[in-house]
Amino acid sequence: MTAGPAVEVTGLTKVFEKGRRTIWQRLRREPDTREKFVAVKGIDLRVERGEIFGVLGPNGAGKTTTLRMLATLLEPTSGDVRILGIDVKTHPREVRANLGAMLSGERSLYWKLTARENLEYFAALYHVPPKEATARIESALVAVKLADRADDYVERYSTGMRQRLALARALLPDPPLVILDEPTVGLDPQSARDLRDRVRELKRQGRTVLLTTHYMEEADQLCDRIAIIDHGVIVALDTPAALKRRIRAGEVVTLEIALTGDDAALLARLGNAASIARSERHNGTLAVTAHCASARDFVPAAFDAARSEGATIQHVEVVPVSLEDVFISLTGRALRE
């Protein structure tokens, strides 16, 4: 394993073709007219060793496709990828021996086996030396706080416990790089907090963590740097603090406004006093997110504008700039849209 970054990507591209060519089309040597979809469009990326690096993006933005190419589960259409200095195209087995992956949508555990039996199976699958397997399994179970439940069947585990066991499975090769695709999705708050603690421990051990998440606060808490992907390209890459400084506003104000008529005139008046980042209307309530220099100045102006349009402001909240504000300003949509 050579020195250098944990992940180095240049011009990474993935093109999918929709539909299949029939056998008759192939026999007749008809031209391939299938529609092509470019999921990842020439991404350049560098992840340093020992950092927690986050990848954010709306659904369908290309983030999971990118992680699967880094994990050697998808072959890139073009571009170069080096993991820990190892070329993914020419040495995929060596790459897999040096990373652990916990990917969303993957049935990664056998529920009719115990946790220990699952890890014994995957240790053999990952070619963990037999002399080291028992110690690694115990270490992985301790790391995710499942040592006392190691001989219980996985079907009796809670969702949070299964996620922790999936992380233990990823740690079996003792990998310097761990890829986590939405590791806390679907977990209750306590289980999610516990798994975040496990991710921080990976960093303390000197490992590199590359993760995607649907939770902005989680990315803000965990990540040293974040890349935001939209439509298959990286639209921003920096530390969480530096990304938040991109929003040229001192404060963010959210309003809930009861309105019966058209909202265009009211939004235009609000836009004279602040930058309207987002507005949504549901069942007679207009929700507005505004970026402003001073909430003390904007809020009275908002009440005046609402009264003039026959509307009523029902709720006001003033919050600091968040990663979600940055995300929406860059992509124009919330993470789950």
Q: Cα-flanking dihedrals φ and ψ of residue 42, to 5°?
A: 70, 50
The CB density around residue 231, as the number of other CB atoms within 10 Å, is: 15
CATH number of the domain to which 59 belongs: 3.40.50.300
Tens-digit pLDDT profile for residues 43-76? 999 999 999 999 998 888 888 899 999 999 999 9
Task: Give the pLDDT score at 337.
Answer: 44
- Percent of the residues in the chain that have a pLDDT greater than 70, as a whole number: 93
Task: Give the pLDDT score at 34.
Answer: 67
- For residue 298, CA distances in Å to 126, 149, 196, 244, 258 come to 59, 55, 37, 21, 18
Band the pLDDT of 317: cuts 50, 70, 90: very high
Average pLDDT over residues 263-291: 90
Tens-digit pLDDT profile for residues 291-302? 888 899 999 999
Average pLDDT over residues 185-207: 90
Domain count, the chain: 2
Domain enclosing residue 102, as ranges: 51-77+88-244
Average pLDDT over residues 310-316: 94
Provide the β-strand partners of residue 227. 55, 237
Model confidence at 21: pLDDT above 90: no
Question: What secondary structure does DSSP assign to 94-123, as a single string?
Answer: HHHTTEEEE-TT---S-TTSBHHHHHHHHH
On whether both 289 and 162 belong to a single domain, the answer is no
On whether both 130 and 151 belong to a single domain, the answer is yes
Residue 2: inside a domain, yes or no?
no
Task: Give the pLDDT score at 214.
Answer: 83
Averaged pLDDT of the chain? 89
- Percent of the residues in the chain that have a pLDDT greater than 90, as a whole number: 59
Tens-digit pLDDT profile for residues 225-247? 999 999 899 999 999 999 988 88
Tens-digit pLDDT profile for residues 101-116? 988 756 678 999 999 9
Which residues have C-beta within 8 Å of that of residue 221, sequence separation ≥ 6? 196
Last residue of a domain, one of 216, 244, 272: 244
Residue 94: inside a domain, yes or no?
yes
